[in-house]
Amino acid sequence: MPRHRLVLDARSPSIIVPLTGCDLTELTEQIGALLTADAEFRSSPAVGTPPAGAPPVAARLVDMAEWRVDLYEPFTAGAGSDPAPAVEALERISALLPALPVLATFRTRAEGGGAEISPEAYVALVEALSSTGLAAAIDVEYRHPLVGDAITAAHRHRIQVVASTHDFDATPPAEEIVARLTAMEDAGADVAKIAVTPRSAADVVTLLSATEERYRAARIPLITMSMGGLGAVTRLGGGPFGSSATFATVGAASAPGQLPAEGVR
């Protein structure tokens, strides 16, 4: 039974902060900085009773942490694909963040990640991390050759799946974005995520328009964004268009255009 469940709602988008440490020491330091920033936010004068008619103020700075497993040294150093070190690290992260849901993500190089493992090892890693019950969700790449097996492996342990796809060169047409988000839901994902790269303001509009179109029909939460400075507005204002979460930083970023969490909140 998983320790946490994802609760995502575009009416109040969640803030997800990446953990990118290469070893347990760096991860511990990043988590310490995250906890400090969260405590300072909650004790600041800005967190209080909002004016009449204003939306409620968030009780905390961060809603979720994403651990980038592909940036962890056993994988980046080419030490193999044994999931045991990743399980050990997830146990450490969960012990340090008992109240915060964790999204575990192994991003392959094809999707802009920092390491590569075989398709079979990818599924085995998803299985091992899911079996701990310590991750609220597992990221599964929509275009991975064994995507179905990976989703099944996570669901076997009742762990939610965030299906993801990234375009680092351009923004696909709106109909392609909608088609991918639809396919992720049809494949059994619990959340559908897409990140694209805008080359113009029109590309940003395309991403937001496609998000709004799919949101009207989707039965699962969506997470969408345009990366880089040009797409920053989508990281701040995606909610009204149907995006239920955004990625922000306390320290190192994990993708182009991520903004500091306090400013985003």
Domain that holds residue 236: 14-44+59-264
**What integer pLDDT is reported at residue 44 of this predicted model?**
76
Phi, psi (deg, nearest 5) at residue 187: -80, -10
Tell whether pTM > 0.75: yes
**What integer pLDDT is reported at residue 45 of this predicted model?**
66
Q: Do the domain assignments include residue 49?
A: no
What is the chain's alpha carbon radius of gyration, rounded to the nearest angstrom? 18
Q: Mean pLDDT in the chain?
A: 91
Q: Do the domain assignments include residue 7?
A: no
For residue 219, the 8-state DSSP code is S
Q: Do the domain assignments include residue 116?
A: yes
Number of domains in the chain: 1
Per-residue pLDDT band at 77 (split at 50, 70, 90): confident
Q: Do the domain assignments include residue 68?
A: yes
Domain at 89, CATH number: 3.20.20.70
Q: Do the domain assignments include residue 53?
A: no
144 a catalytic residue: no
Task: Return the minimum-mean-pLDDT range out of 73-87, 117-131, 178-192, 205-219.
Answer: 73-87
Confidence check: pLDDT of 142 > 60: yes
193 a catalytic residue: yes
Confidence check: pLDDT of 58 > 90: no
Confidence check: pLDDT of 218 > 90: yes
Q: Do the domain assignments include residue 54?
A: no
Q: Do the domain assignments include residue 204?
A: yes
Whole-number Å distance between alpha carbons of 159 and 138: 7
Residue with tokens 């039974």: 1
C-alpha distances in Å from residue 233, one per residue of 102, 156, 201, 227, 238: 25, 37, 10, 10, 8
pLDDT, tens digit, for every residue of 246-262?
999 886 666 666 788 88
C-alpha distances in Å from residue 151, one per residue of 163, 215, 219, 223: 9, 22, 17, 18
Q: Do the domain assignments include residue 223?
A: yes
